[in-house]
Amino acid sequence: MAQPIRIPAGLRIRLRDFDPDDTSLCGDKEHAQESVEKYVRRMAELQQVLFAEGRHALLIVLQAMDGGGKDGTIRHVAAGLNPQGCRVTGFRAPTPEELSHDFLWRVHRDVPPLGFIGIFNRSHYEDVLAVRVRRLVSPSVWSGRYGHINNFEKLLADGGVTILKFFLHISKREQKERLEKRLVDPRRAWKFDPVDWENRRLWKDYMAAYEDAIGRCNTRWAPWHVVPANKKWYRNLVVSGRIVRALEDMRLKYPRRRTGRGRSSSE
């Protein structure tokens, strides 16, 4: 039986119950890669209709531990998208200007407009994850943010934004192997950050923070997906498939041709 990917709203989870090596939806790497190619092509088709219709937007949120594959997911899954209609935003430590506003201010600025696809590499969830684990704010501050996040995401959903949130779940062992590769591979060395090793020592604290974030901010309008991500090809399959499904669920249609007086050709 395949372990769940989309987490039912309101369910509190334990990440140790989820196998990051799971490939139960498709155990064949070659077949999975062929499926990803089909999903990417289908995604490109649907993106064109999304842009033309201009009534919906898609926001994809990627969260993971260091080395979890956020960049790789974007590179493989978004490969076929038209960059004119897709925005990728990476969230790092907030600037002084951003810190002078509420924690959602910088996030709201980069929400995709209607007709666009937006991808967040990290997101507003860092404000209940990293700030909690590294004790950058008091518990009274970060604990109040779950409600703000739920209300914020409901506001976006009511405005036509479909939200997909993915936690790319890797094991601590897999993370160690990936971080070590950064030390010896010149193509990855630029990614090395000593902070990654510091965060690794806080693994249990991060897992607890993720469990709370997923459990408390998993709603019908902004569901969380726990993606087994030790196998990169399987991760790409799951994420691309879910994106295509979300776009198809929008029931997108090309708008009618307009006439000179602003009336559709069928009127």
Tell me: pLDDT of 262 over 90.
no
pLDDT over threshold 50, residue 246: yes
Enumerate the domain spans of the chain.
40-249
**What's the whole-number mean pLDDT along residues 206-212?**
98
267 pLDDT exceeds 50? no
Q: Structure pTM? A: 0.93
Q: What is the pLDDT of residues 63-81, one digit of tens each?
A: 999 999 999 999 999 989 9
CATH code of the domain occupying 40-249: 3.40.50.300
What is the pLDDT averaged over residues 114-119? 98
**How is the chain classified by DSSP, letter by letter?**
-PPPSBPPTT----GGGS-TT--TT---HHHHHHHHHHHHHHHHHHHHHHHHH-S-EEEEEEEESTTSSHHHHHHHHTTTS-GGGEEEEE--SPPHHHHTS-TTHHHHTTSPPTT-EEEEES-GGGGTTHHHHTTSS-HHHHTTHHHHHHHHHHHHHHTTEEEEEEEEE--HHHHHHHHHHHHH-TTTGGG--HHHHHHHTTHHHHHHHHHHHHHHT--SSS-EEEEE-SSHHHHHHHHHHHHHHHHHHTT--PPPPB-TTS-BTT-
